[in-house]
Chains A and B, each alone.
Chain A
Amino acid sequence: MTATLHRLPDLVPPPTELPPRTAALRADVRAFLAEEQMAGRWTPRADVWLSGWDERFSRELGRRGWLGMTIPKEYGGHGASALDRYVVTEELLAAGAPVAAHWIADRQIGPTLLRFGTEEQRQRFLPGIARGEVYFGIGMSEPDAGSDLAAVRTRADRVDGGWELTGTKVWTSGAHHAHAFFALARSAPRDERHRHAGLSQFIVLLDAPGVQIRPIPLLTGAHHFNEVVFDRVFVPDDMVLGEIGAGWKQVTSELAFERSGPERFLSTFPLLVALVGELAGSAGAEREIGGLVARLWTLRRMSLAVAGSLESGEAPELAAAVVKELGTRYENEVIDVARLLVTTPPDPGAEAGFARLLADAVLHAPGFTLRGGTNEVLRGIVARGLGLR
């Protein structure tokens, strides 16, 4: 009896090596981060891309040319490759540096404006993004539209010279500090047979008349995300993003950038570093630490492979979903192993160190496998890729 092999899709792109020129860049970023830490400007924290809002730090990165790196020079960027940007972002995250302020703008708003924005929109926003002075949010989720994003109800009504938005966005990270966000809204009535039609994206300035921003405190009490209510908010025609009616396609292409970066497995890396510090000189934990490092090393190779594939113009949606699904579970595994190996209790009041990192990691962990598409939804994408749905 012989068995022929069922054909499977490519689950991961071929390995990507970072170009040798990035070594010098990495060394520069490391030296800068060491200098900042020596000067006591910030303390390494877990989940910094969610909670480390520090505009001084973002402007300093902008000054050094480490934001908007892939934005062309004519828009104030640096015309560098996505792999150069990869090196900078992974160094920042590994160090636990406060990157939240510019994170969304640098990661997905810049590339999306380059892809779908008008010339005027690019000139208006991109230079500020690259300087680390202009911050954005993401206005996708709503009370009744979470995983089922196509269920958004925020309405965009055609008015003279533009559109009028009415509705409610929730879980909007950083809306209380940000200058603007991309709001996904219904510009044509819902049609059950074509659920993805009639959606559009709008650039909404968060200080526009009719926009109300209210905090939704996290379980720690921290103010991170918000409810953003629109009461007939006027958006002029020149602030429509891309095409009216093409919102679904645009939003899903944005997600490819959102899903495979190093922030999807490094949120608890500073805790792993502290754990290695706690274990220094003791024996018996080698296997657990080795297991975590083997998984981390592998995730980084996978994430780099996706970055290399994105850089060569492909959109490996399946591979990106795989990286995020594995990576965000890994972020939780670091916590599990740390708790097994070290009995120091978590202390949210500690200034720094293992106890504080563990506290932050535990309290932030529920978000890892939710934000940017839940793990169940990601597995659904993988199942579709396998031909099961």
Chain B
Amino acid sequence: MTTSVNQELQELAESVFGDAASSDTGFDAALWRTLEETGLARLTLPAGAGGSEGTLEDAAVVLAAAGAHAARVPLVETDLLAGWLLHAAGVPLPDGPLTAVAGELEVDGTTVRGELRRVPWARAVAGVAVLTGAHVVLLDPGAAEITEGTNLAEEPRDTVRVDGPAAAVVAAPDGVAAELRLRGALGRALLLAGAARGALAAGVRYAGERVQFGRPIGRFQAVQQQLALAAGEVAAASAAASAAARAAADAGFAAPSTRLAVAAAKSRTGEAAGAVARIAHQVHGAIGFTREHDLRLWTTRLWAWREEDGSDAEWNAELGSTVLAAGPSGLWPLITGS
């Protein structure tokens, strides 16, 4: 079963995120402080970058818990994306939450200019890491113009406009663009797997509480069969996301097998997201369709996240191209990785 180290981490994550789910919106500053105190905020970064030197498998445990509890913090963005990118480029990391984005900026010496769209959590972070062309740029959000926007789950997805000096501009190391994209998809897949689990848990709980025709609706076989289907999707999402984290931990992001694993994981978690959200809502009836009820915390995240960091359609197209290029005799070796 789970190794004992991960078991401990899982327990820690459960206790940290335990009552994070809330109908509040915006950055959860109290939770972020706890994440920093427990070393989870920069879990996979080297000690030199203020990190805890955890593995991507450790991150998988923590991110799945963050998704399951609908945590309102830029954890993937800080640890897996911006922290990694800045460290890889040799830029000292600002303290606090960070975010990262790939986009187009005009770079002239240390002056940058342009607009970045749908930047996660921009309004709440201490630094925005931007991969643009051949440069890695660090922006101070205080020196940028931020227009607030959101995704379907009301999480910040802001527009950032800059025209002036950046906090740092350095040359982008080789291969970071491809890795940034894969890291984003992996992080999102792990969050999705967690959120799917959260939605299923809500459905199972509600089915045991809601009484119609004189018994809990969970006693009806039609409801049981639907929740069992959702459980299958949750199992597939968790298996895919954690196997992709394992692949990345073992072989690194440059390995073709990791690329395939991350593509498959983002696609499969995206597919599960739709099915689980649909079933969770059906089981909840009208109450789940209200603002007042918590179910939306998970289902709106499922709908939002399946489109972010590459939708299932995008990753499927990429996977399909790889498979068709490999041809009939190449298909099975792609699946087995040898």
Contacts and interface: CB of A to CB of B under 8 A. Distances in A.
A326 B239 CA distance: 13
B25 interface: no
A382 B18 CA distance: 26
B225 A2 contact: no
A361 interface: no
A197 interface: no
B102 interface: no
B240 A298 contact: yes
B115 to A, nearest CB: 30
Nearest to A276: B328
Given A382-B232, A383-B228, A288 B320 contact: yes
Interface string B57-76: 00000000000110000000
B246 A2 contact: no
Contacts of A291: 267, 271, 312, 316, 320
Interface residues of A, number: 63
A8 B197 contact: yes
Contact of B224 (A94, A289, A326, A383): A383
Contacts of B219: 388-389
Contact of B338 (A26, A325, A388): A26
A297 B264 contact: yes
A380 B228 contact: yes
A297 B240 contact: yes
Interface residues of B, number: 71
Interface stretch (A11-19, A125-133, A249-257): A11-19
Contacts of A349: none
A140 interface: no
Contacts of B317: 286-287, 290
A273 B327 CA distance: 8
B202 interface: yes
B201 A7 contact: yes
Contacts of B327: 276-277, 280
A277 B334 CA distance: 15
Given A90-B336, A293-B264, A298-B243, 10 more contacts: A3-B22, A8-B197, A11-B231, A23-B338, A94-B335, A277-B327, A294-B315, A298-B268, A388-B218, A388-B223
Interface of B: 1-3, 6, 18-23, 68-69, 197-198, 200-202, 204-205, 207-208, 218-219, 221, 223-225, 227-229, 231-232, 234-236, 238-240, 242-243, 246, 250, 260-261, 263-265, 267-268, 271, 294, 297, 312-313, 315-321, 323-324, 327-328, 331-332, 334-336, 338
What 5 pairs between A and B have smallest CB-CB spacing?
Answer: A286-B320, A290-B316, A290-B320, A290-B319, A379-B228
